[in-house]
């Protein structure tokens, strides 16, 4: 197309900002793009089907939500690993990464809040503001009006750039609410394939950049919540941030190509490929973790007490455990819990990983290894 998908206009200051055209754009479909959409639909459907077969999907997805949160936050510069977050949530001390873990946990809280909120509120500007408020509570950037659209200009660039040297300047405040109103109206429509609609909406949100901080994370939350709202996924098993993180330079280049050249085909091809690859990846991990749990349950099935078997179910949500945490969550005595943990150690299911004499932390490292495998990008 080779022309911008919006217009560059002068803002209130002496600078040019970008105002994207309302969605949807005219898309020139070709065989490659149709094939990519079909592949993404098929693999996402398979993931949804397999996710529905999991013995306890609502517990199982907690570790996948944590993975999405870690990778989405890493794009914004946090250094916390999935192991750090899961260990901290099990009660381990992660003092040196407290701030990063807090940011990741805010993402988890925002995603879980959003899924619950969808029962009474559709994808809308109001919900985006509520998500932003959860995301920014008590972390870096908390001073930049959490839960409120910006009333001043922001911009994107490297290091300490200014408006004069920015690589991208989103709509100035006088254009902002019109752009957001158009986006909200587009989110309500149901005359496009859902994956096409959310691909377009994600670009538009990032182009508008409506908050002073946290736009990238809210934009990625928008994808997951849209797929859940449209019942494309029963639960948030897809962690698309892994694809964006692994292909970060291409991600930014594809967004920029839409802005500067109107290359919607290139963006859609990239987005559909990301959906397909991550659906494949998530299905593989879910099946392998589920097989581990199945094998471990068989090992503990004949024991005199059901506590070890019940404990195995909890490892799907978080492979890290502590005796106090498990005792409280399962409402059994500390001594009974410790005996169950010792039994799982003797079976090679968990190992002590803290090296402490008190407040020990244990981990099902086979599950953690599957969760922490790097994303493999192909196709």
Q: Is residue 377 part of a domain?
A: no
Examine residue 293 and state whether it is found in any structural domain, yes or no.
no
What integer best gives the mean pLDDT of the chain? 91
Residues 6+ apart with CB under 8 A from 117: 127, 130
| Cα–Cα dist 341/322, whole Å | 9
Q: Domain range for residue 191?
A: 6-282
Element (DSSP H or E) covering residue 314:
helix 307-317
| Token representation of residue 318 | 């978080």
Which tokens in the block code for residue 59?
């517990």
| 277 and 307 part of one domain | no
One domain, residues 165 and 202: yes
Does 325 share its domain with 236? no
Q: How many structural domains does the chain have?
A: 2
Same domain assignment for residues 170 and 23: yes
Residue 184 domain flag: yes
CA dist., res. 366 & res. 349, Å (int): 8
Same domain, residue pair 22 and 85: yes
Q: What is the mean pLDDT of residues 35-41?
A: 98
Q: Does residue 287 form part of some domain?
A: no
Question: Do 221 and 330 fall into the same domain?
Answer: no
pLDDT given for residue 190 in this prediction: 94
> pTM to 2 decimals?
0.93
Task: Kindly report, residue by residue over 39-57, the tens digit of the pLDDT.
Answer: 999 999 999 887 777 666 6
**pLDDT confidence band for 34 (50 / 70 / 90):** very high
The CATH number given to whatever domain includes residue 20 is: 1.10.3290.10
Highest mean pLDDT among 47-61, 121-135, 230-244, 349-363: 121-135
Rounded to whole angstroms, the Cα distance separating 360 from 355 reads 7
CATH number at residue 342: 1.10.10.10
Residues 222 and 341 in one domain: no
d(CA 12, CA 25) in angstroms, rounded, equals 27
Same domain, 14 and 137: yes
Q: 264-300 and 31-53 are packed helices; what angle lies between their axes, rounded to 10 degrees?
A: 20
pLDDT digits (tens, 9 = 90+) for 181-224: 999 999 999 999 999 999 999 999 999 999 999 999 999 999 99
């Amino acid at each position: 197309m080779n022309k911008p998908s919006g217009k560059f206009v002068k803002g209130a200051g002496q600078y040019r900002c970008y105002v994207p055209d309302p969605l949807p754009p005219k898309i020139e479909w070709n065989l490659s793009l149709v094939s990519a959409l079909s592949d993404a639909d098929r693999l996402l459907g398979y993931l949804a089907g397999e996710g529905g077969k999991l013995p306890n999907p609502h517990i199982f997805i907690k570790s996948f939500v944590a993975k999405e949160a870690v990778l989405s936050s890493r794009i914004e510069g946090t250094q916390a690993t999935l192991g750090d977050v899961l260990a901290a949530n099990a009660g381990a001390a992660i003092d040196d990464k407290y701030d990063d873990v807090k940011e990741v946990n805010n993402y988890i809280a925002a995603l879980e809040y959003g899924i619950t909120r969808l029962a009474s509120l559709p994808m809308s500007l109001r919900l985006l503001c509520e998500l932003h408020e959860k995301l920014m509570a008590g972390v870096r950037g908390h001073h930049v009006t959490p839960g409120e659209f910006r009333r001043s200009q922001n911009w994107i660039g490297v290091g300490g750039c200014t408006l004069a040297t920015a690589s991208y300047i989103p709509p100035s405040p006088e254009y902002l609410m019109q752009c957001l109103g158009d986006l909200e109206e587009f989110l309500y429509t149901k005359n496009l394939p859902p994956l096409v609609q959310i691909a377009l909406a994600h670009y538009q949100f990032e182009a508008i950049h409506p908050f002073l901080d946290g736009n990238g994370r809210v934009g990625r939350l928008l994808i997951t919540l849209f797929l859940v709202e449209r019942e494309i996924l029963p639960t948030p098993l897809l962690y698309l941030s892994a694809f964006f993180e692994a292909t970060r330079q291409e991600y930014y280049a594809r967004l920029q190509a839409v802005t500067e050249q109107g290359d919607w085909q290139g963006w859609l091809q990239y987005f559909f490929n990301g959906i397909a690859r991550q659906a494949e990846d998530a299905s593989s991990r879910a099946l392998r973790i589920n097989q581990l749990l199945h094998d471990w349950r068989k090992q503990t099935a004949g024991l005199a007490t059901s506590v070890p078997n019940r404990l195995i179910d909890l490892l799907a949500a978080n492979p890290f455990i502590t005796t106090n945490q498990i005792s409280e969550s399962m409402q059994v005595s500390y001594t009974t819990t410790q005996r169950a943990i010792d039994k799982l150690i003797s079976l090679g299911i968990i190992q002590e990983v803290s090296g402490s004499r008190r407040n020990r932390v244990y981990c099902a490292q086979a599950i953690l290894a599957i969760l922490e495998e790097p994303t493999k990008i192909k196709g």
